[in-house]
Amino acid sequence: MISAATLAAANDGATNTFIETYDDGTDVGLWHCSVGAPRDLETSGGNPGAYIQQGGFSTSIPTWASVSTRFQPGVPDQYKTDSIYTGDWTTLGVTSINVDLNVIQVATWATDRATTLELLQMDDTGFNVTYEATYTLPDLPEPPVGWHTYSFPVDANSPTIPQGWVFTRGDGTPGTDAEWSPFLHRVDLTSVGFYKPGFAYPSLGTWILGIDNAEIDFQTGPSPTPTVTPSVTPSPTSTPTATPRVTPRPRPTPRPRPMPIQ
């Protein structure tokens, strides 16, 4: 396992792990839900130990995001940073991402919410989406109060779009197998939120959320060779079978970010 302060890629085919536990005072990725609400590093109460808490904001889509400096450059945002949670996932060989989330205070819940991982690649201006990919876990009929771990397969070096992913170009047309790995050569925004793409939700009340143990698993390997004639039919996107687990262990237009209630 690789600590939050150290990153090294082995060439022996073994899977490496990077976890931001917050216990050593680091804050890799600058995960946040709002650019205007208080964001606090709590020294206890995490899963276990320290964690990041943010609250006092209202939004229909409560979402934690790690944002690259390539995303909307020039727009003031103290939480933009280039880290392992964005950037070149194909060369790194990312295989999965896992994160512990806690809904401490519920604003408004709906039975059709679920946990969704979203990855964005922007164009050279940083203001237009080139590619968007989402992976949605099963529905959460009740608010997941308390710590829960959510796991998402990525397989950045897959020669095809992995099962369960919805992968589109910025104009909304389906991405192809040949575009999957090149897309993950540059991830500009990574987010995990409580919503299902295409659904509308009310924005009532205020949220308090927690995040801990944001984990990247990776296995460096050769990039796949795209097929000469990529299929125009996207790979099947069946309902993922993964389910959230509790552990005691350590769009294509970008959505506006939630602002705190005055």
Full domain range(s) for residue 132: 16-218
Give pLDDT, residue 211: 98
Q: What is the mean pLDDT of residues 216-236?
A: 52
- Residue 253 forms part of a structural domain: no
Average pLDDT, the chain: 85
Whether 241 shows a pLDDT value over 50: the answer reads no
pTM higher than the cut 0.75: yes
In a domain, 109, yes or no: yes
Q: Which of 30-34, 36-40, 80-84, 237-241 has the lowest mean pLDDT?
A: 237-241
227 located within any domain = no
pLDDT tens column, 141-175: 999 999 999 999 999 999 999 999 999 999 999 99
Q: What is the pLDDT of residues 49-78, one digit of tens each?
A: 999 999 999 999 999 999 999 999 988 788
- CATH number of the domain where residue 79 is located: 2.60.120.260
Q: How confident is the model at residue 228 (pLDDT cuts 50, 70, 90)?
A: very low
What's the domain count of the chain?
Answer: 1
Residue 48 lies in a domain: yes
> Does 251 map to a domain?
no
pLDDT over 70 percentage in the chain: 79
- Tens digits of residue pLDDT in 15-30: 999 999 999 999 999 9
Say if residue 12's pLDDT is above 90. no
Amino acid letter for position 144:
P
Percent of the chain at pLDDT > 90 equals: 74
pLDDT at residue 260 is higher than 90: no
- Does residue 245 belong to any structural domain of this protein? no
Residue 260 domain-assigned?
no
**pLDDT (mean) for 111-135:** 97
The answer to whether residue 237 is domain-embedded is no
